[in-house]
Structure 1
């Protein structure tokens, strides 16, 4: 029996109003970090042994195989910039990550099919005993399928890696929270640590599976992980904060640069009569540009309001008149370029892992003299990851709480100090590497192994651990510091580009490392022998390390100059304090400067 209308209405009026749960927050973190983690386990796990797969199953020589992998890694490192552009300007972060996850999954499925289907790769070599054979070369269509798999994986990485960090920060960034800065700093650290754990799993578990269970299972598991990553991320869609996209960011930057050049002969208005002289959007908080890089301010100077601005309040020719927001975005990018460039040298040092692999392979890798187990030469890179993770945990859970307890107030280390300290530790890592290699080479020669590069030198490979640890600390301080620095200094519309800049620096570093290596090899050749030789005992890798150490020390000085010329950060300006100590409304935070 239905209730009378008046009783129904009265009951509805008595019901409490439904409260919507605010979107974002810590609840979304597992879904975002899991997506990034699965992607890293899958992609990094595929890369480690890929040269063996190309040589054994596709018949590629070591030179061509390495060239293919170099192009793949270069594309993977550069694609995040494209992904950041599409995310900020057209697709939004959520849609970019979703499409990229699908692309990575499809790429890994294609790669798995190359291991499953004999028709998509060259026929195996079937030689009778005592005879030589050469398997047929891979056809164009077979290579096209392989390269398509690499391309799809690179596209996926380009969409996930720059957007996941910024998308996660979107869920936590709350300017009304007095501890917002501390929350973001903690998030950046834990995010970086979780990514490192994923890489560590890729370097151990996935590589072990490929070595012992074959390519079919070794490629199939990453594909399954990528499928799980896509499902987990999409499942939490209703919980996410999804920021609206703006117009093409790169177009806006280009318009600001062109307008500043076109208007280069204009006189800037004085401080007293600048009101109404600069073009800005109605809802913009920037009524006038900042005083830094003032020559760019000419891009938003209104010459004739009737001729420059339409009835809708927009510029009639955006290539001659830009908004104050566009000018400040260009300034933000120009300002951070010097600081960004200082991190390239650290990435060059970290990329020397192949030489460290040769060192470890020539040393005694037993844990003790009585032990029969040898640490694989390629596994020493774990010490870098372990050091990075350990620093993040100690810094967030021990060092800062202890310092805060001693000072009686919350304490944190300024981001520019952390970046500089990381660059100095990177210099120390190369100095230690040079010293250890000098000792290893001298010991090898004294044992009569100068012409035997495959022999084991009677010196423990544990001597290599300190340099790996120092590399991990340097990356933890500078890598995390730069990511935090870019994100806080850039406007919110550029946050994905902020996340992509560190990866772009790594890509540039790999190219420059190749140039430096070839220059050192060619310039150091004397009597047919150079510092860089296939026989590590004949070459002088210690001299090569010292070259990098000297360059790293010069880079530290360069960073000090860049940091000083940059001036105070956005957080320092916001809190009206440059020299370290600042007071908030209900809290006081001490920055060690």
Structure 2
């Protein structure tokens, strides 16, 4: 487990193992509370703003459900995409300390701006109920201020989230310590535990504060937490090990197609020849694989005297690449079809806006004096996810292995497929529950009253949240393990980046789907499926549409899985026997624990 978890340390770029061991005068356990607190407070603050945000947009900015949901989709897409850019800047230019610091400041400024929109009445349109009245829309200036706060928070997330865990590993990584791996494993355990607890707090405490104390306090508390996050991080600055930025793996991906295009007119050397392809010193590769053969021209040596430096490296990396670079890009391109199958599950999980409106219209009491906040039902997704991961790892697999008399484990692709199936079932259940809820609202005479609370328990929504959590547990973890199994070790940082990119693309596609549904179903003056009035709309039809798309996506996954073949990457390696060529399977790297939040 230690080795598996050690791989994703650097959210991005090469691991700290490639740098000199940190000096004992800096780093160490003394820095851990500050780094973990920085990440934990940032998560509590940022995730606590999302669940109820659609209510703020509808009630205080007179924004309709469709437009408000689109704004949230775009905000979430930006938040998921920015960590990739942040990792690139951290690895190549700024370093992790500066990237986290600037990200913390940006998040703080964004939250202060959002808090000001609640504190100053003039930056919002006049109060109005859009479900029953024709309301004045916000001015350009008012919307610019609100969207600027979202943008600053997305930029901040891009600085903090990809670098925090790697920066923590920088402080502890000491190869001279015989217990180094155990120390790192302990850090990862505390890091992931704090992340999970932070999300649960944001989905419960912060949402509860917003519901009962209003937006001024509900937005003020996250701003205060973010201030503490930044303060604690900078307070420990003298104690940190601050690694210098190095070359980013992303740069190598760009170089390969550029050099291959430059060398497009070169002829391929004979298959059994040696010395034609450029590789690193002590490399196990002497020739690239034959798949995507046109990329192999990027590592063909044209004139050794001109393109090879005295130390054996390429004198100009934009004119000659290594075999390793070429194979890394091929590995990435090969998984793209299977990666794309995970986008649909992210689209389904991102439908929290509609689930919030459903919960708001149902009886959420669990006792006579306490009711679950509508925005807190997402915690059932996290709880079911965490419960399954623990049961699968600690109970189900050991029991199955004991019964079979040999190690038992579900393959990564099989788990991905199970996750897609469960996600499809979650949408089916969502559609059925919403259909029952809507019919009951109409029977009780609430067709024109979107704020009415039905005599129907909101616990009906729990199964779809649990199915979403199980789908995430199977697909997301299986997907990440699949990347780590198939990619070279040098590409471990790309696994997390791919998953974040998938969520960003999913948010953009979810916005496009919602726009199309709203436009097509409201033609001819008809009530849109995603109407501002939940009882007049047909959210159940919208869920059925997602269920149909999910079933088609499941078939697409089966085709991609079949086309991909076995989860084993074959490469040509140096052999001491024969002509030097040998096909050998690279063993899978085991399962990793991923930050699902």
TM-score (norm 2): 0.76
Mapped partners of 2:468, 2:108: distance in 1: 32
Cα distance change on mapping 1:576 and 1:491 into 2, 3 Å: closer
1:105-149 CA-partner distances (Å, limit 9, x unpaired): 344345456666x5x9549979xxxxx9x9997785x77665554
Q: Is the 8 A contact 1:190 1:392 kept in 2?
A: no
Is 1:154 matched up with 2:157? no
Q: Is the 8 A contact 2:88 2:250 kept in 1?
A: yes
Give the counterpart of 1:379 among 360, 373, 376.
376
Q: Match of 1:14?
A: none
3-state SS in 1 of match to 2:392: helix
1:331-387 CA-partner distances (Å, limit 9, x unpaired): 23212222221111001111222222333333343447xx46443333322211221
Q: Match of 1:277?
A: 276
Cα distance change on mapping 1:307 and 1:579 into 2, 3 Å: closer
Report matched runs for 1:166-315 at 5 Å: 194-230=194-230, 245-273=245-273, 275-282=274-281, 286-311=285-310, 313-315=312-314
Larger displacement relative to structure 2 (523-532 or 40-49): 523-532
Is 1:47 matched up with 2:50? yes
Larger displacement relative to structure 2 (93-102 or 186-195): 186-195
1:128-180 CA-partner distances (Å, limit 9, x unpaired): xxxx9x9997785x776655544332221012222335556778999999xx9
3-state SS in 1 of match to 2:288: coil
Q: Match of 1:551?
A: 549
Give the counterpart of 2:436 among 435, 439, 444.
439
Mapped partners of 1:452, 1:518: distance in 2: 24
Q: Is the 8 A contact 1:109 1:223 kept in 2?
A: yes
The Cα shift of 1:322 comes to: 1.7
**Larger Rg belongs to:** 1
Q: Is the 8 A contact 2:530 2:537 kept in 1?
A: yes
Aligned length: 552
Mapped partners of 1:430, 1:377: distance in 2: 19
Mapped partners of 1:187, 1:556: distance in 2: 37
1:480-515 CA-partner distances (Å, limit 9, x unpaired): 333344455445555444323222222211221122
Q: Is the 8 A contact 1:77 1:504 kept in 2?
A: yes
Mapped partners of 2:401, 2:237: distance in 1: 38
Mapped partners of 2:105, 2:544: distance in 1: 45
Mapped partners of 1:27, 1:422: distance in 2: 40
Q: Is the 8 A contact 2:381 2:465 kept in 1?
A: yes
Q: Match of 1:90?
A: 93
3-state SS in 1 of match to 2:161: helix
Report matched runs for 1:103-182 at 5 Å: 103-112=106-115, 122=123, 140=141, 148-165=148-165
The Cα shift of 1:300 comes to: 0.5
3-state SS in 2 of match to 1:295: helix
The Cα shift of 1:225 comes to: 2.5
Give the counterpart of 2:464 among 463, 467, 471.
467
The Cα shift of 1:309 comes to: 3.3
Mapped partners of 1:518, 1:136: distance in 2: 19
CA RMSD of aligned residues (A): 4.7
In structure 1, the gaps of 5 or more residues are 1-18, 127-131, 585-593
Give the counterpart of 2:473 among 471, 476, 483.
476
Mapped partners of 1:278, 1:460: distance in 2: 67
Q: Match of 2:326?
A: 327
Q: Is the 8 A contact 1:111 1:149 kept in 2?
A: yes
